Amino acid sequence: MWAAYTINNIPNERTGCLTPAEILLNEKPPLDKMRIFGEKAYVHIPREHRRKLDDRAHEGHVVMYLQQAKGWPFYIPGANKMIPSTWATFPGSSRLTTMLRKGQPFEPQEKEANNKMGIPFLLNNLPLGNFSREKKFSEQEQTAAKIATPSDVIPRTYKEAMRSHESEEWSRAIEED
């Protein structure tokens, strides 16, 4: 159903700048309703169905169109149920553009060899970061850690003091006291 609705409401090579539904019904299709199948959305929970500190929205996914109504049915994975709603926020906002309504014929895009907006081109031209500040900060943290930890362990008993490699110094300190 989703695929048929989508195919009938977008132009193709055969129909040019018109959609099959537009040819059949003599009216433009409602493009504001079209979404990507499975697109993430936040479905509003009305006040009547929630308490003061409850979430105000469920995270769900669009799974179909409603033919004679506004909105979409959403699948809510956390609750494992379907909720029809007109109140939803789509974080990606991937609606079809109004470019299709401008009367431009549909032309498949050809790949260019020097496509400056392509992902490989952009990835190869990303400036690499300068990590000298992070190295300096790391060295400062290590120095602070060395200062904070005592270099010599203070013995708790007389036996520990006499077994340590500084036993002579501990003996002198005991005699002075």
Threshold 0.95, pTM exceeds: no
pLDDT at 48 over 60: yes
Phi, psi of 171, rounded to the nearest 5 degrees: -65, -45
pLDDT at 90 over 70: yes
Vertex 33, ends 28 and 35: CA angle to 5°?
120
pLDDT digits (tens, 9 = 90+) for 109-168: 555 555 666 677 766 776 666 666 677 777 777 777 777 655 567 788 888 888 888 889
Cβ atoms of 88 and 74 closer than 8 Å: yes
- Residue 176 identity (one-letter amino acid): E
Q: Which uninterrupted H or E stretch holds 60?
A: strand 57-62
Q: How many CA atoms are closer than 13 Å to the CA of 11, on its beta-carbon side?
A: 19
Domain limits, the chain:
1-34, 35-95
Question: Comparing 109 with 47, which gets the higher pLDDT?
Answer: 47
Phi, psi of 58, rounded to the nearest 5 degrees: -100, 145
Taking all residues of the chain, what is their mean pLDDT, rounded to a whole number?
A: 75
pLDDT at 100 over 50: no
Q: Which residues contact 85 (CB under 8 A, 6 or more apart)?
A: 43, 44, 71, 72, 74
Task: Report pLDDT for 97.
Answer: 46
Q: What is the CA radius of gyration of the chain?
A: 34
Q: What are residue 82's DSSP bridge partners?
A: 75
- Given the structure tokens 């270099």, which residue do they identify? 151
- Sort 44 into a burial class: Cβ within 10 Å, 0-12 / 13-18 / 19+: middle
Task: Report pLDDT for 164.
Answer: 85
Phi, psi of 147, rounded to the nearest 5 degrees: -70, -40
- Residue 35 identity (one-letter amino acid): R
